[in-house]
A and B are shown apart, each in its own frame.
Chain A
């Protein structure tokens, strides 16, 4: 079998003396969706933030294509093809959709100045693939609806040829039509060979989309299952009980 796209080994993250995540090992293969489940405070978001570079890990290692890599910052993660959709969206409210989409990776002219028109055009293209009626990439995103803002954040995560996508509650702010579009998008990205971590509270979503589920409780990995081989009740029991039932 080929090496996993991403492998977390013995990952540990402390805040002060408190272990937010400890001893977690988890692999993600190309072309699969792994649902990450757990209560609030179980360590899902912390684990994902370690991988996205927002929080440097305290112990353990991250391997990409079987090789250990150092991810100290979001920039490092992006360089390794890891893109993240944060639950908070992480948008600068005072900037337009285009400026947000390209933040940190601006298109510049030959003189090195920002090429806003090129960024606006590219942004419009990618956002419209998700949300066909989107038309204003300049208005500060604080004036957009929750769903539109979510689309901007998703567009940012997929525009830069990611290999690994971390999606933290991607459909939380969306209506049914938009949720459907995101589901279809995930299926397409998966078919293109991306690996996707899907963090969600919504068991229904996770069972619908993911190939495997990983359950966390109290900062530890309870277990990993093939979605097709477990029932929701079993997974719920793992989430609540914090013990491997199956």
Chain B
């Protein structure tokens, strides 16, 4: 049996697998060249935190690009909503109220969702190309972030809110990390078992046992390894492990939710159908316009969530937050296998893309590569990744 057949039988996405292998290769090389610093618990902890903002937004960008659109405004929406949350917390709402931070967080996410829906409305119901609408959004909301306080930086933020950013206190500790890790493993195994049962019930052969066991083993190893690494990084001058950082927890929850949205809901199915053939989707009774608005609304909400993490991490609102983040987000989605032609992409791929990009960035910083050269190299990686992907796809479809 050929490798390709085996992969198909194991229901492994060759593209995702390729990216996983690329990530392992990058990590190995960076670890060797940095003398073991790259794969230290401390660096991996930082890498995870650094990946979370772009990762959160990349999960939404997958939907936007799959639906044949683009969103250039996410960096500015991040800045604008982050600023709005900061102002709300420090100036509009009573500063010492316990409900202050949840209310401002919820309001910020609602604001981001509304901004996204508003942009989506221009795209869907007024026929203005998404490139133009969101380019305008990039300008407008960057300006808006400045106008909110006339350029003033806003601080301090609520102490509990700051935990979202994953600072010194912003992790859940070793006990909770082990507990959540254990739960995640149980949930993974249970969902695989349910899937096997459902396939049998509908008369389909379940996955071959070697593939099932292999999949579960890899998933368990990744979860357990992740938790152990996060627990191994200790607080300063102590033996107390930090555990999973809260922004990474937010990223994981977001990734899970967006994966479910893409694979198990009508909305997700329609986004992919639209990306594959918009006319066919419309003829099948899909309300293409409404789905388009929905896609941009999700993206706006996620940009605001990323804005909350950024603001909390800085412990202040500044009007330049998220500048150029739209480009990293799009790059993460594209490196993660999302096709700009639409119809193809996955949430786990986009997260992998974000981690790959952040790994390169982080590793090159450790190696003392200048920021100018880093930009050049990451640009080259972007072209290389897309070229490799399209070359592989041509080979796959021609055989």
B263, B266, B276: the one within 8 Å of A94 (CB): B276
Task: Tell me if A121 and B203 are in contact (CB < 8 A).
Answer: yes
Most buried by A among B201, B202, B263, B282: B202
Per the bound structure, the CA–CA distance linking A120 and B277 in Å amounts to 21
Contact B204 A104 (CB under 8 A): no
When A103-B284, A113-B264, A113-B265 are in contact, do A92 and B202 touch as well, CB less than 8 Å? no
What's the Cα separation between A143 and B4 when bound, in Å? 15
Q: Which residues of A contact B265 (CB under 8 A)?
A: 112-114
Stretch at the interface among B158-166, B245-253, B267-275, B304-312: B267-275
Whether B106 is near chain A, meaning CB under 8 Å from some CB there, is no
Interface string of A76-117 (1 = CB under 8 A from B): 001000001010111111110001100111101000111001
Q: Is the CB of B272 within 8 A of A94?
A: yes
Interface size on A, residues (CB 8 A): 31
Interface size class of B (residues with CB under 8 A): 20 to 34
Contact check, B280 vs A94: say whether CB atoms are below 8 A apart.
no
Contacts of B344 in A (CB 8 A): 94
| Cross-chain contact of A91 among B198, B260, B277 (Cβ < 8 A) | B277
Q: From residue A18, how far is it (CB to closest CB) to chain B in Å?
A: 21
B283 at the interface (CB under 8 A from A): yes
Instruction: Tell yes or no: A179 within 8 A of B by CB.
Output: no
The residue on A at minimum CB distance from B203 is A121
Which of A75, A103, A114, A117 makes the CB contact (< 8 A) with B199?
A117
Contact (Cβ within 8 A) B285 A92: no
Say yes or no for A54: interface residue by CB 8 A criterion: yes
Asked whether, in the complex, the Cβ of B272 is within 8 Å of the Cβ of A95, the reply is yes
A92 and B283 CA atoms in complex are apart in Å by: 11
Is there a chain B Cβ closer than 8 Å to A43's Cβ? Answer: no
Does B397 sit within 8 A of A, measured CB to CB? yes
Complex formed: what's the CA distance from A134 to B286 in Å?
27
> What's the nearest-Cβ distance from chain A to residue B320, in Å?
38
Q: Is B294 an interface residue (CB 8 A)?
A: no
Residue of B nearest to A138 (CB): B11
A243 in the interface, Cβ–Cβ < 8 Å?
no
Set of chain A residues within 8 Å of B277, measured between Cβ atoms: 90-94
Expressed in whole angstroms, the Cα–Cα distance for A104 and B204 within the complex equals 24
A73 CB within 8 Å of chain B: yes
Residue numbers in A under 8 Å from B286 (CB-CB): 103-104
Cα distance A74–B286 in the bound complex, in angstroms: 9
* B181 in contact (CB, < 8 A): no
Residue A118, interface by CB 8 Å: yes
Question: What are 19 A-B contacts defined by CB distance under 8 Å?
Answer: A54-B283, A73-B285, A74-B284, A75-B285, A78-B285, A89-B280, A90-B277, A93-B276, A94-B272, A94-B276, A94-B344, A95-B273, A100-B280, A103-B281, A106-B266, A112-B265, A114-B264, A117-B201, A121-B202
A-B pairs with lowest CB-CB distance, top 4: A92-B276, A94-B276, A104-B285, A94-B343
Given contacts A92-B277, A92-B280, A143-B397, 16 further A-B contacts (CB under 8 A): A54-B283, A74-B285, A90-B280, A92-B281, A93-B276, A94-B275, A94-B344, A95-B272, A99-B269, A103-B286, A104-B284, A104-B285, A106-B269, A113-B260, A113-B265, A121-B202
